[in-house]
Structure formats: C-alpha cells, structure tokens
Amino acid sequence: MFAGKEPSHSWHERRVAGKHQRRVFSILILLALIAILALSIYVLFRGMAFFGPGYGWLDRLFAVLLICCELYIFIHAMAYFVSTIKATTRYDVTGDTVFISSVTPFVAVVIASFNEDPAVLEDTIVSAVTMDYWHKKVYVVDDSTDERLRAGIHDLALRYECAYVRRDNRRGYKAGAINDLF
C-alpha cells in the first residue's frame, strides 16, 4: 500500500486513546507538583539554616550567595515545568509528534526523472527525505539514457537512502514510470 486514508477508529478506540493522553498529562502534572513541593521545602530549610546561631559574617555572606544560586536554579526549574506543561497541552506540533497514533498511513513519495542533472535532482530528494512525516518511503524512478547521469542519480539515491528504480523501456515516459512502479 503506497498511500491511503487514515484507518477509521471506533468510538471506543478514540476514547481509550484520549484517556491514555489524559493519564500521561496527569502524571506529568503530578510529578511537576511533587518537584515544586520538594524544591520549596528545600529552599525553606536552607533559609532557616541561614539564620541559625554560630555563623560569622563571612559564613553568612557565602550562605547568601549559595541561597541566591539555589533560588536561581529553583526559578529556572519552575519555568521548565511550566514550559513543558504548556508545550504538551497547547501546541499542536507536540501533540502530533509526541502523541502520534501508531497507526498512520504509509506514503510513497515518487520522484520521476529523465536525463536530469543530479545537482538539480538533489534538492528534490532532500526535500522529500526531510519531510515531517515518519511513515514514508522515497522512490527515485530514473529513465535516463545517459549513463553518467544515471550513475549520479543512483549515487544520490544511495546517499539519501531512497529506493532507486531504473527502467530500460521508456513506455509512457514519466507517467509510465510511475505506473510501472505501482
């Protein structure tokens, strides 16, 4: 199968997937709250220890510097938790890539060429290979009659890990090459 529709999911499957995403999100929130609580308790006890008796002015100076460094780390940890929660709940890109369904249609990207310079064809191959879709296969169908061009296109296909298909007869030209591939 080279391309197709998204398989239809039953109401129950969508409901289970939604519950799973909510559960993952709930666990993420719970872990963030536990970390915030632990960091808060730590900063509180460090502040209380700072005011304890028996410290000289130099000890207190370094204690203040240490508390400032720890507050800096604490503030950045809070910003990280907020950013992570925001990214997982509000951005579609995160939902599409992190929580992607395991059942996505296979897509075949077909690049048909005839006596094209490999330097020109390379941009097309790079664009196809770097598409933001993980379940695809790129095919380079070559009808070139020039052996030098044919070898260059074959090297490109190997370099970018594409399937290289070569035809000896040129029946139907580029459209025929695509039909023969399918």
Domain boundary residue among 43, 71, 97? 97
Q: pLDDT, tens digit, for every residue of 72-99?
A: 988 898 788 778 777 766 665 555 555 5
Residues 23 and 92 in one domain: yes
Is 2 within a domain? no
Domain that residue 47 falls in: 11-97
The answer on 67 and 144 residing in a single domain is no
Residue 115 is predicted with a pLDDT of: 82
Tokens of 56: 């000289």
54 CA to centre of own chain? 54
Which pLDDT belongs to residue 60?
81
Within the chain, strands assigned E span 107-113, 136-142, 163-166
For residue 4, tell me if it sits in a domain.
no
Domain total for the chain? 2
Same domain, 115 and 83: no
d(CA 56, CA 63): 10
* 155 three-state secondary structure: helix
- Contacts of 45-48 with C-beta under 8 Å, sequence gap 24+, read 46/70
The model carries a pTM of 0.45
Looking at the predicted structure, is the pLDDT value of residue 42 above 70?
yes
